[in-house]
Amino acid sequence: MKFETLRFEEKRIAVEQGLMPFLDGERLLLALQIWEEKYSNEPIFGLTRFVNELCDSTALQVQRGKVLQALIQTLTNLSSSSPVRASQLNAELPVKVAQPSRVPQQDATWTCMLLVDTLMRGLSPEKSGGVRLYMLNNLGTLRQPEAVQTALRAWLNQQQNAISVSIAESVLTRIVNLAYVALCEYEGPIKADHMLHNAVLTVEKMATNSSFPVRRLL
């Protein structure tokens, strides 16, 4: 289930769960009110602006990266909820005729790798290594088969330039999320947002022959 298809109530619960380790009582209620009024319709990467406002108005400045990471984690976990939960939600929605996908999965994987690699090229070798290490240390959160984990480790360790195994689109989105959270830790949310925007534009120019739009990973 994609993040954009989540209902308001589901996203609110996820935001509340992500904030609970950092806020409680009236501060938590105020933060939820800010999210509801300004950011509830934003895409997942719009959380950067929410966290900026929240941390500027509370004593959370030093934990900005951790707050953003917690929010993205709870929302992406909900977006990739169990098939049973997803089927229950879909049963409540109007029935739509399913259309066969015409997007080759390898195009999606290649686009994801290109986006992350483009982000890395904008960093110093030290910071790029730190982002890769963060992603390596958090591969387990993707809960993928060993073959996928091995392929991702080889790519992140720069031992291979391509991934031949099939990876679901929802997992590719979470890979981009991991890179973005790590980027926020090293560059700060504002610069990370700017770098991601530029990387997307670069990939769109480079991947004109790809059948997979890079913005589907956001």
Q: Is the pLDDT of residue 16 over 90?
A: no
Q: What is the DSSP letter of 94?
A: P
Check residue 59 and give its pLDDT.
64
Q: What is the DSSP letter of 36?
A: I
For residue range 90-144, list pLDDT tens digits in order: 444 343 333 334 345 678 899 999 999 999 998 998 999 999 999 999 898 888 9
Residue extents of the structural domains in the chain: 3-91, 105-217
For residue range 139-169, list pLDDT tens digits in order: 988 889 999 999 999 999 988 887 888 899 9
For residue range 56-67, list pLDDT tens digits in order: 755 677 777 778
Buried b (16+ CB within 10 A) or exposed e, 119-130: bbebbeeebbeb
Contacts with 52 (C-beta within 8 Å, 6 or more apart), sequence order? 64, 189, 190
Q: How big is the chain by its Cα radius of gyration, in Å?
A: 18
